[in-house]
Amino acid sequence: MREGSLEAPVRHPIAWQDAAYYDSDKLDAELRRVFDICHTCRRCFNLCDSFPRLFDLIDNSETGELESVASADFVRVIDACTLCDMCFMTKCPYVPPHEFDVDFPHLMLRARAAQAKRGELTFADRALAATDRNGRLARLAAPLFNWATDRRNGRMRVWLERNAGLHHDADLPKYAGKPFTLDTAPPVNTAAPAHGRKAVLYATCFVNYNEPAIGGAARAVLAHNGVETEVAHPACCGMPRLEQGRVDAVATAARVVAGKLGAWIDRGYDVIALVPSCALMVKFEWPLILPDDAAVKRLAGASFDLSEYVLDIARKEGMAPGLRAVPGGIALHIACHARAQNMGQKAAEMLRLLPDTEVEVVERCSGHGGAWGYKLPHFETALKLGRPTARRVRESGKAFVASECPLAGAHIRQEMERLGGERPAPTLQGHPIQLLARAYGLETMP
């Protein structure tokens, strides 16, 4: 028996279509097997709150061992997992192909899938995960919706806390009146070294409905570098539903999106996902959910994270000239779902293309975890988990801060507000691509 593994981690297909996947006795046995391994190792004690909760349950039990912990108490551990994948990617020595075969995040996914199968999801949770529908409705009256969900609107936020479980002080995303799919293509720089490339931007729910400026900046930078772009948003990638264990809904979305984007691949277009969570879904999670779907497999092979694609241009053809320094420097947060793509610090490499610009990398959890960080039971824990990241960003003295995950960036900004301090906090940019657009002096979509 080996103590740990130095081999590259691998993941098994998710057996969500098998009845045994949801069997309560088999699930409990697997939870106990994995939890006992985690208990004897404890390398993940400083990651998300799942592990401290698990270890506290065991340490405070009658025997101090897992055998005396009630299975009903496991829900506290399951609820605290944000599916960030950092334990699997960076900490656990027992991931497959090790014989212990530990995949903690996908085990938590299985537990949530069983909860969803039993009908334990609330109406509010299901409604919050309907990001496409919510975006389409909210954009019709974006100013009113944004006023209603503003932290300063005390009465409405108390109502949302009571009825939707969203903490009254959580800084919720704002909605744009014009979705990114209605953006006008900028002129393509035919003199750029990368001219001839074509890419379709998978808009993602967040960029399409909440932060179209990220998409505008991406499109402007790519056009300046000779890339012809189109925008498509067939459907949500399903990450909010994956977090709830609704794997069947994710599979449905994967089939729809893979079918629609496959037509662009046929025409010679690369596919770029504009936020890392969606890139992770397309490139890694969907092929595990639908391992025999040829369209899903093909899309995964043709897809890029946004920063990854810009770096690909820089390495193969070279960037178009005209980049200028960003005065004051940049604090860059490396998002967990960017790290989970196992592609290196592509955003940092991209920003280091800027001349005379200091880039300080912060590779720690923001604490947010998608919708998890907004919710009443988790919000304060999320702030606590992300406080070291916010402190380091604030103390960096940089003029700007950016994260590839816009939600993580907003959460870090709120954490910095709570920390306070005499030094001004860096100005938040929704995505590092906006700093590249700034360095080129490009006008982007407001």
Note the pLDDT of residue 8: 76
Q: Is a pLDDT exceeding 50 seen at residue 1? A: no
Identify the residue with better confidence: 7 or 374: 374
Q: Which residues on adjacent β-strands are paired with residue 402?
A: 332, 429
What band does 364 get if pLDDT is binned at 50, 70 and 90?
confident
pLDDT 10s digits, 217-257 = 999 999 999 999 999 999 999 999 999 999 999 999 999 99
Domains in the chain: ranges and CATH: 19-117 (no CATH), 123-164 (no CATH), 180-315 (3.40.50), 322-440 (3.40.50)
Q: Is a pLDDT exceeding 50 seen at residue 445? A: no
**Average pLDDT over the chain, rounded to whole?**
93
- The CA distance from 194 to 201, in Å, is 17
Q: Is a pLDDT exceeding 70 seen at residue 4? A: no
Mean of the pLDDT values across residues 123-147? 94
- Neighbouring CB atoms inside 10 A of 63's CB total 9
CA distances from 93 to 6, 47, 85 (A): 8, 15, 14
Place of tokens 């794997």: 247
- Neighbouring CB atoms inside 10 A of 228's CB total 16
Half-sphere exposure of 103 (CA within 13 A, CB side): 14
Note the pLDDT of residue 300: 97
Mean of the pLDDT values across residues 306-333? 96
Note the pLDDT of residue 387: 92
- The one-letter code for the residue type at 1 is M
pLDDT 10s digits, 169-205 = 999 999 999 999 999 999 999 999 999 999 999 999 9
CA distances from 78 to 48, 82, 112, 208, 212 (A): 11, 9, 7, 31, 34
Mean of the pLDDT values across residues 372-395? 91
Q: Is a pLDDT exceeding 60 seen at residue 114? A: yes
- The CA distance from 306 to 74, in Å, is 37
- The one-letter code for the residue type at 392 is R
The full 3-state SS of the chain, as one line of letters, equals CCCCCCCCCCCCCCCCCCHHHHCHHHHHHHHHHHHHHHHHHCCCCCCCCHHHHHHHHHHCCCCCCHHHCCHHHHHHHHHHCCCCCHHHHHHCCCCCCCCCCCCHHHHHHHHHHHHHHCCCCCHHHHHHCCHHHHHHHHHHCHHHHHHHHCCCCHHHHHHHHHHHCECCCCCCCCCCCCCHHHCCCCCCCCCCCCECEEEEEECCHHHHHHCHHHHHHHHHHHHHCCCEEEEECCCCCCHHHHHCCCHHHHHHHHHHHHHHHHHHHHCCCEEEECCHHHHHHHHHHHHHHCCCCHHHHHHHHHEEEHHHHHHHHHHHCCCCCCCCCCCCCEEEECCHHHHCCCCCCHHHHHHCCCCCCCEEEECCCCCCCHHHHHECCCHHHHHHHHHHHHHHHHHCCCCEEEECCHHHHHHHHHHHHHHCCCCCCCEEECCHHHHHHHHHCCCCCC
User: Who's near 9: CB < 8 A, 6+ residues apart?
Assistant: 88, 89, 95, 96, 97
Cβ atoms 205, 132 nearer than 8 A:
yes
Q: Is a pLDDT exceeding 60 seen at residue 105? A: yes
Note the pLDDT of residue 444: 55
> Which of 3-7, 128-132, 180-184 has the lowest average pLDDT?
3-7
- The CA distance from 143 to 146, in Å, is 5
Q: Is a pLDDT exceeding 70 seen at residue 283? A: yes
Mean of the pLDDT values across residues 399-417? 92
Taking the mean position of all CA atoms in its chain, how far away is CA 133? 20
Peptide bond before residue 97 is cis, with ω within 30 degrees of 0: yes
Which tokens is 434 given?
A: 């906006």
Mean of the pLDDT values across residues 100-104? 95
Q: Is a pLDDT exceeding 90 seen at residue 54? A: yes
